[in-house]
Amino acid sequence: MRLFRKVGNTLHILSFPGEDVEKGGYLLIEDMKAKKAMIAQVIDIQFANVPGVMEELLRSPDVEDQVQGDDVDPFGIMSQILYIQDARLLVCKIYGTIVNNGFFSDNNWLPSRTDSKIRKLSTESLMKLAGITKGLPIDLGETQDAAPMIIDACELDGRLNIITGKKGTGKSHLSKILVLGLIEHGATVVILDLNGEYTNLGLAADGTKNKHHEKIRVLTPAQNFKVTLYKTNLYVVMRLLTNALNLPGASAREFRSIWKFLEQNGTLTLHELGGAIKRWKCNQHVRDAMQSRYYAILHSGFFTDNMAEALDFEAVLTETDKKGGGAIVINLKDMAPSDRKMVVEYVLAKLQEILSQWKLRAVFLFAEEAHLYLRETYWDDIVTRMRHFGLFTTFITNQPNTIHENIYRQADNIFLLNFVNEHDLQAISRAARADAETAISIVRDLPPHYCLVLGQVVKDFPIVVKIRPLNIKTMGQTRYFFLKEREKR
C-alpha cells in the first residue's frame, strides 16, 4: 500500500491486488522518520484512476470478443501491467495519531509518502489502543479479521442506543444478544415486544429451557398481565386516557372528579366506574366521551376487578431486580393500536414512578418500532427526564426516519445493519456519533448479520462485526404467505 494523498481528514491510499483490505478495516500509516503513526479506517474502495486503463480495457480481448491470440512475453511484464491495472484506491478516514504508544486525536500532520509503511491494524490492537474495555463482557460476534468482538455492558449503562437497518438484517437478533448480555450481568430489562418475538428468549432452538429461562418473564396484556384500577395511580390513568385514548380536556376534568369520588368511597373498580359515569351529572357530550373511553378500557381486557388475577407490575420489577436481573417481555403482539398504546403508557408511567422513588436503580428498555406505540411527547422525555431517572432506552427500527432527530443527536451507541435506501442513509447520517460519510459508505455494503458499531462501546472507532448466531427458539420473523414453499427450497 502506498500513501497517495490527504484531503482534510481523509487519506487516499493506493492498494494492489493481494493486499486484501476490507471496507471497515483499519490501517496504520507509520512514518518511520517522524516516528508517528496515523490510524485510519477504510470507508470506501474504488478503482484507482490508473492512466490508460480505459484504452487497456477497450483493447484487451475479453471472453466473448472475436479477437483472440497469444502473447510472447519473455520477461513476464504483462502480469505487472495487469497488477497495476487492478490497483485500488482506498478512501480512509483518519481517526488519530499514535506517538510513543499513546493515542491522540490529532489529524493535522502529513505522513511522508516515501517513509511511510502502511499495514493493516488488527482489531485487537485497535481495541487496545482505543481503550475499548471488556469489563462486563457481552459477546457480539467476530470482527472482519476474525477477532472476538466483546463489548462492555457498562458502556450501555446510562446510555441511549439505536439499532437500525433494513428489514430482516438481524436487528432483533442483535437486540436479543444485548438483552441476554445485560441480564447475565444482573440488569433488569423491559422489552416492548411488538411482534412477540422475544417471548421465547428462555427457550433453546429445540424448545428446551436454556440457561436464561428463569430470568425471562413474558407478560401478555389481557392474559397474564392485568391490572386493577385500585392499584393504579390517577395520573397514570389520566395519561392513559388523554394520550392513548385521546380524551378531550373537559371530559378529562369530569373523569378526574369521578375517580376522586370513587377513591374516597373506596369503590375504585371497573364496575363502579361504569355506573358512576352513567349517573354523573354532566353534559351529554362529556358523558359520551367518557363512556366510549370506559368501554375501550373495559374491552382491552387489560384492567380487571379481580384482585386474584391482577398483576403487581411494580412487584414484578422489584423482584426481578432482587433476583439478580432479568428480562420482562411485554408481548404486544396482535394488539389493537389503541390497546397497545394504553399498555405502553401504563408500563412507562409505572417505570417512571418506580424509578423516581428509587425502588429500582435503573431499567434498560428495549423498544421495537416505537413509533407504533410511543406518543410524540415521549421521545424527548425518554432522552431527558426518563434517562435521568434511570431508564436507558434502546430503539430498534427498520425505518430510521421514525426515530426523532433529537434521539439521533443524543444517541451514545448506534448499531447499523445494512441499508441501501438513500432516504434511510440520509436519516442515519444525522447521528452525531457517526461520521456521516463513514456510516453511509460502509453500511451500504454490509451483508446481512453484519453490523457497524458506532459510539461509546467502541470508543468512537466504528467497527464492523459479524453478529454471532443465537441458540434461541425464534418466531415472529418476517411473515410469508408461501412459507411451505420457501422451506422446501
Partner 1 sequence: MLHGVEIPQRLIELSQKSMHTVKGRFLQPYWTESFESLAETAQESPPVSINSRALSTLITPLTPVRDGTPIIGIDTSTIKIGETEAGIIWAVRAAVVWGNNRGYRYLRLGPLPFHITEENKHAFFGGSVDHTFLNATSFSSVSAETQGRLCNLIERWIQASVSHSVSESIILWDGSLTAGTPGNPVSQISHILEAARKNRNAILAFSKTTTIRSLGWRITDFATRYEPPCLFEVADLPLSTSRRIHLLGRIYAANLSRGGRSFRLDIDRTLSREQGIEAVERLLGNELMFQGYPETLRLAHIYSTFTANDVIGIQSFLKREYGLKIINRRSIRKALFGPYGTRYED
Rule CB under 8 A: which residues touch partner 1?
A: 50-53, 55-56, 59, 66-75, 77-78, 80-85
One character per residue 124-163, x = contact with Mg ion (rule: CB under 5 A): ----------------------------------------
Q: Which does 398 bind (CB under 5 to 8 A by kind): Mg ion, ligand ATP, partner 1, none?
A: ligand ATP
Nearer of residues 1 and 258 to partner 1, judged by Cβ: 1
Q: Which does 223 bind (CB under 5 to 8 A by kind): partner 1, ligand ATP, Mg ion, none?
A: none
Does 172 engage in binding with Mg ion (CB under 5 A)?
Answer: yes
Strand 463-467 to strand 116-121: parallel, antiparallel, or no bridges (unpaired)? unpaired
Does 123 engage in binding with ligand ATP (CB under 6 A)?
Answer: no
Residue 7 falls in which region: left (phi positive, over 0), alpha (psi -120 to 50) or beta:
beta
* β-pair partners for 191: 329, 366
Whether the CB-CB separation of 262 and 234 falls below 8 Å is answered with no
Whether the CB-CB separation of 477 and 167 falls below 8 Å is answered with no
Nearer of residues 73 and 312 to partner 1, judged by Cβ: 73
Residues sharing a CB contact under 8 Å with residue 79, sequence separation 6 or more, in sequence order:
none
CB of 167 to ligand ATP, least distance (A): 4
Nearer of residues 293 and 466 to ligand ATP, judged by Cβ: 466
Q: Which does 66 bind (CB under 5 to 8 A by kind): Mg ion, partner 1, ligand ATP, none?
A: partner 1
Does 164 engage in binding with Mg ion (CB under 5 A)?
Answer: no
Site for ligand ATP in 83-122 (CB under 6 A): none
Among candidate residues 164, 152, 27, 165, the one with its CA nearest the CA of residue 98: 27
Whether the CB-CB separation of 229 and 273 falls below 8 Å is answered with yes
Does 478 engage in binding with ligand ATP (CB under 6 A)?
Answer: yes
CB of 171 to Mg ion, least distance (A): 5
Nearer of residues 95 and 395 to Mg ion, judged by Cβ: 395
Out of 52, 248, 337, 469, name the contact with ligand ATP by CB under 6 A. 469
CB of 44 to partner 1, least distance (A): 22
Q: Which stretch binds Mg ion (CB under 5 A): 155-163, 164-172, 438-446, 465-473?
A: 164-172
Q: What is the DSSP letter of 241?
A: I
Site for Mg ion in 173-212 (CB under 5 A): none
CB of 172 to Mg ion, least distance (A): 3
Nearer of residues 140 and 297 to ligand ATP, judged by Cβ: 140
Could you give the dihedral angle defined by the CA atoms of residues 263, 224, 219 and 305, in that order, rounded to the nearest 10 degrees? -10
Task: Provide the grid cell at 35.
Answer: 516516528
- Interatomic CA distance for residues 53 and 59, integer angstroms: 10
In residues, how long is the chain? 489
CB of 446 to partner 1, least distance (A): 32
Q: Which does 248 bind (CB under 5 to 8 A by kind): partner 1, Mg ion, ligand ATP, none?
A: none
Dihedral (CA of 370, 372, 378, 380) sign: positive
Dihedral (CA of 129, 130, 136, 138) sign: negative
CB of 110 to partner 1, least distance (A): 18
- Interatomic CA distance for residues 190 and 92, integer angstroms: 39
**Identity of the residue numbered 13:** I
Q: Which stretch binds Mg ion (CB under 5 A): 14-22, 64-72, 172-180, 263-271?
A: 172-180
Q: Which does 371 bind (CB under 5 to 8 A by kind): partner 1, Mg ion, ligand ATP, none?
A: none
Burial of 204 (0-12, 13-18, 19+ CB in 10 A): middle
One character per residue 305-334, x = contact with ligand ATP (rule: CB under 6 A): ------------------------------
CA angle, 30 then 35 then 38, to 5°: 40
- Interatomic CA distance for residues 188 and 321, integer angstroms: 6
End-to-end CA distance of the chain: 44
Among candidate residues 300, 292, 290, the one with its CA nearest the CA of residue 336: 300
Does 447 engage in binding with ligand ATP (CB under 6 A)?
Answer: no
- Interatomic CA distance for residues 393 and 382, integer angstroms: 7
Out of 168, 186, 301, 324, name the contact with ligand ATP by CB under 6 A. 168
Among candidate residues 350, 348, 330, 269, the one with its CA nearest the CA of residue 305: 269
Q: Which does 474 bind (CB under 5 to 8 A by kind): Mg ion, ligand ATP, partner 1, none?
A: ligand ATP
Residues that bind Mg ion (CB under 5 A): 171-172
Residues forming contacts to ligand ATP in the complex (CB under 6 A) are 165, 167-173, 398, 449, 467-469, 474, 477-478
